[in-house]
Amino acid sequence: MNSPNRTVERSIATFLFGFLAFSPPLLAIFGAEAFVLGLPLLYLYLFAAWGLIIAMIAWIADLGAEKPPDLEPARRAKRNKAD
């Protein structure tokens, strides 16, 4: 499930999300004169979106770091055979 292809697909999706999140039209929307929790909306939005992307990179990298999943059944099968 977490084959290298999956990692690539997820990375590209995250990349596109990031590029979209920081595109001028969205920035114009969040540039409105508004405060949330005492912070300017744009300031909050930019850091939140940024943090989300970083979390996604970490998540994708972490998934990719697991042992290749197809190894596990193979090992089990071997064990069963040995039994």
Partner 1 sequence: MLAGWSILLFSLAYLCLLFAIAYYGDKRADAGRSLIANPYIYTLSIAVYCTSWTFYGSVGRAASGGMDFLPIYLGPTLTFVLWGFLLRKIIHICKAHRITSIADFISSRYGKSALLGGLVTMIAVLGITPYIALQLKAVSISFNVLVNYPEVVMPPISSQVPVLRDTAFLVALLMATFAILFGTRHIDASEHHEGMVAAIAFESIVKLVAFLAIGIYVTFGLYDGFGDLFATAALTPRIGNLFTSSENSYGHWPTLILLSMAAIICLPRQFQVTVVENVNEDHIRKAAWLFPLYLLIINIFVLPIAIGGLLQFPDGGVDADTFVLTVPMAHRMEGLALFAFIGGLSAATGMVIVAAIALSTMICNDLVMPVLLRLNWRGLAERGDLSGLLLSIRRGSIVLVLLLGYAYFRFIGESAALVTIGLISFAAVAQFAPAMIGGMYWKGATRLGAILGLSLGFALWVYTLLLPSLAQSGWLPIGFIENGPFGIELLRPYALFGLSGLDNLSHAMFWSMIGNIGGYVLGSLMSRPGAIERIQAALFVDVPKRSGAFGSSSFWRGSATVADLRALLARFIGSHETDRVLNEYARGRGLNLGRLREADAALVSFVERLLAGAIGAASSRVMVASVAKGEVVGIEEVMKILDETSQVIEYSHQLEQKSRELELTTQELRAANDRLKELDRLKDDFISTVSHELRTPLTSIRSFSEILSDNPDLDPAERERFLTIVVKETERLTRLINEILDLAKMEAGRMDWQMIDIDPRSVIDDALAATGSLVASSSIVLKLEMDPWLPQVHADRDRLMQVIVNLISNAVKFCDHERGEVSILAGQLGGRLYIGVLDNGPGVPAGDRQIIFEKFQESRGPLVDKPRGTGLGLAISRQIVEYFGGRIWVEDAPDRGAAFCFTLPVSRTNAADRPALQSQEAL
* Residues binding partner 1 (CB under 8 A): 4, 7-8, 11-12, 14-15, 18-19, 22-24, 27-28, 31-35, 37-43, 46-47, 50-51, 53-58, 60-61, 64-65
The residue among 32 and 82 lying less far from partner 1, judged by its C-beta, is: 32
One-letter amino acid at 45 equals Y
Please, which residues bridge with residue 39 across strands? 36
* Smallest distance from partner 1 to CB 80, Å: 30
Largest Cα–Cα distance in the chain? 70
Helix/strand/coil for 22 = coil
Q: Which of 55, 70, 60, 50 is nearest to 7 (CA)?
A: 60
* Smallest distance from partner 1 to CB 71, Å: 17
The residue among 43 and 78 lying less far from partner 1, judged by its C-beta, is: 43
